[in-house]
């Protein structure tokens, strides 16, 4: 993966562990006054148009409802590998032409792979939308792959794995925690894949995956920016309507599900490059798609109460009151097709034992599970969540991401637009019930990142 396409992927790999703010549905919320227009072509392509006339710019995003959790066992990393290969050209447009065109018109592009979806986008001057749409429609079915460009790209992915996972102790810990959290569900596989499986991926694997999943009835096209529906619809019909649906794609994705968790688990990763030990705990919790009514919003509020800044309960307890930690936070990854994660992260002060940290965390959780939060705290965090959602809509690319991420994981436009109202409606009792039900030790994996101080063994000389 080239550097210009790496950032979004990294966040997908690290899931909710990079930033411990509630990046789930909060990052998928918009309260724009104008409802986005939506229509579906006869071939199944869903189209969402989000007008934003503040600048003469448009963002085109196409989201495919396939991610690493949809890969064939033994072929991990295939969704991400194909994302790389989608830039290798078609019969109509040779490799590099699409990207060079974007750069020539002063635009930018990127791509990203997650557990549930793969996406591609361009942000360009509005008059360039017809050109971008023609390119994107062409590579939905016209991709041409040859060994001379597939095999070197596999080497690029392997090097990316080495750089971003194998040589990054924090990312490696995340990989191990996720593998321990999901005993049966494919969310336990890394988005980038397992090294020994990546190195066996080939042209045939990529083409088979492409032909199986890349089709209009498995995609959502989002156009955000200085556009109107009346102008966008003819363009979409011209470019995408002739592409036939892939009838073999099921309407609903069905994956192996997790058994009821029976015991807490832990993993310890030691590495000589670790300068500061840290503790991370993940709980298996419902996503916005799988949760009962009100439950996901209660988890959003709970995460903000526990770990959203210097006034959060974890920070107050561990950093301010007890002086045990340098930092403490929590997050909820609500946007997922299947059960997701609630995370806690703490960096202890030097000399502080993990047992002390865990005891303090458990006391915060026990208090929240037994006693409803104070009214002023509840209102403060709800106001924070809603305000951040309002401020974030200033970026049209962010708007497109919000809708794409939500719609590809089973939510609706109305779910996205009504999120602030549902946050406002969360009660202290709902938050208490969420803490009691889901922050149960049996549902958790605790990861410890420590410095490996063992001396290296010298190689024997013959």
- Altogether, the residues listed in the chain come to a count of 462
What pLDDT is recorded for position 127? 97
Percent residues over pLDDT 70 in the chain? 91
DSSP secondary structure of 306-361: HHSSTTSHHIIIIIIIS--EEEEEEEEE---SS-EEEEEEEEEPTT--HHHHHHHH
For 346-402, the pLDDT digits (tens) are 999 999 999 999 999 999 999 999 999 999 999 999 999 999 888 777 888 888 999
Mean pLDDT across 43-70 = 96
Of the two residues 28 and 34, the one the predictor is more confident about is 34
Written as six digits, the tokens of 362 are 């458990």
Q: Rounded distance, CA 403 to CA 167, Å? A: 34
Q: Catalytic residue numbers?
A: 83
Mean pLDDT across 156-171 = 96
Specify whether the CB–CB gap between 194 and 27 falls below 8 A: no
What pLDDT is recorded for position 459? 47
The pTM of the full predicted model, rounded to 2 decimals, is: 0.91
Please determine, for residue 458, whether its predicted confidence score (pLDDT) is greater than 60. no
Least confident of 31-45, 58-72, 357-371, 412-426: 31-45
Confidence band, pLDDT 50/70/90 cuts, at residue 11:
very low
Specify whether the CB–CB gap between 305 and 377 falls below 8 A: yes
Specify whether the CB–CB gap between 266 and 447 falls below 8 A: yes
What pLDDT is recorded for position 20? 31
Percent residues over pLDDT 90 in the chain? 86
Domains of the chain: 3-18+35-240 (3.30.830.10), 265-451 (3.30.830.10)
Specify whether the CB–CB gap between 18 and 174 falls below 8 A: no
Written as six digits, the tokens of 2 are 């080239």
Specify whether the CB–CB gap between 205 and 307 falls below 8 A: no
DSSP H or E stretch at residue 421: helix 419-424
For 210-268, the pLDDT digits (tens) are 999 999 999 999 999 999 999 999 999 999 999 999 999 999 999 999 999 999 999 99
**For strand 57-64 and strand 219-225, is the pairing parallel, antiparallel, or unpaired?**
antiparallel
Residue of 308, 368, 298 whose CA lies nearest to 344? 308
Q: Rounded distance, CA 320 to CA 20, Å? A: 18
For 98-143, the pLDDT digits (tens) are 999 999 999 999 999 999 999 999 999 999 999 999 999 999 999 9
Mean per-residue pLDDT of the chain: 91
Beta bridge partners of 445: 265, 282
What pLDDT is recorded for position 304? 97
Q: Rounded distance, CA 373 to CA 377, Å? A: 7
Buried b / exposed e along 46-60 (16+ C-beta atoms within 10 A)? bbbbbbbeeeebbbb
């Amino acid at each position: 993966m080239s550097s210009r396409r790496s950032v979004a992927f990294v966040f997908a790999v690290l899931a909710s562990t990079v930033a411990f703010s509630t990046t789930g549905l909060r990052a998928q919320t918009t309260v724009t006054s104008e409802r986005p227009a939506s229509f579906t072509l006869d071939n199944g392509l869903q189209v969402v148009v989000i007008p934003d006339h503040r600048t003469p710019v448009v963002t085109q995003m196409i989201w495919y409802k396939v991610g690493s959790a949809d890969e064939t066992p033994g072929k991990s990393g295939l969704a991400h590998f194909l994302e790389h290969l989608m830039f290798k050209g078609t019969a109509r447009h040779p490799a590099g032409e699409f990207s060079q065109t974007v750069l020539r018109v002063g635009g930018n592009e990127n791509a990203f792979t997650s557990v549930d979806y793969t996406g591609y986008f361009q942000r360009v001057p509005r008059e360039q939308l017809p050109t971008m749409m023609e390119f994107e429609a062409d590579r939905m079915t016209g991709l041409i792959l040859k060994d001379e460009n597939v095999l070197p790209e596999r080497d690029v992915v392997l090097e990316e794995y080495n750089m971003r996972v194998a040589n990054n102790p924090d990312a490696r810990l995340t990989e191990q925690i996720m593998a321990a959290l999901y005993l049966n569900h494919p969310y336990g596989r890394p988005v980038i894949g397992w090294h020994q499986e990546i190195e066996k991926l080939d042209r045939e694997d990529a083409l088979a995956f492409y032909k199986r999943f890349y089709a209009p009835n498995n995609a959502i096209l989002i156009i955000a920016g200085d556009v109107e529906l009346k102008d966008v619809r003819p363009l979409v019909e011209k470019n995408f309507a002739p592409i036939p649906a892939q009838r073999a794609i099921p309407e609903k994705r069905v994956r192996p599900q997790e058994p009821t968790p029976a015991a807490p688990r832990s993993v310890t990763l030691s590495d000589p490059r670790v300068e500061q030990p840290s503790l991370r705990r993940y709980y298996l919790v419902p996503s916005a798609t799988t949760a009962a009514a009100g439950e996901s919003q209660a988890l959003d509020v709970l995460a903000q109460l526990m770990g959203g800044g210097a006034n959060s309960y974890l920070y107050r307890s561990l950093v301010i009151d007890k002086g045990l930690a340098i930092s403490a936070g929590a997050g909820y990854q609500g946007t997922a097709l299947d059960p997701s994660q609630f995370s806690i992260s703490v960096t202890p002060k030097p000399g502080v034992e993990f047992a002390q940290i865990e005891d303090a965390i458990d006391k915060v959780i026990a208090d929240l599970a037994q006693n409803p939060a104070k009214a002023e705290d509840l209102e403060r965090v709800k106001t924070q969540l809603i305000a951040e959602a309002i401020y974030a809509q200033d970026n049209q690319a962010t708007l497109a991401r919000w809708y794409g991420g939500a719609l590809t994981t089973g939510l609706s436009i109305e779910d996205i637009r009504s999120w602030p109202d549902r946050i406002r409606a969360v009660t202290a009792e709902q938050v208490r019930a969420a803490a009691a039900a889901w922050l149960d030790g049996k549902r958790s994996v605790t990861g410890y990142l420590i410095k490996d101080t063992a001396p290296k063994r010298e190689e024997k000389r013959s």
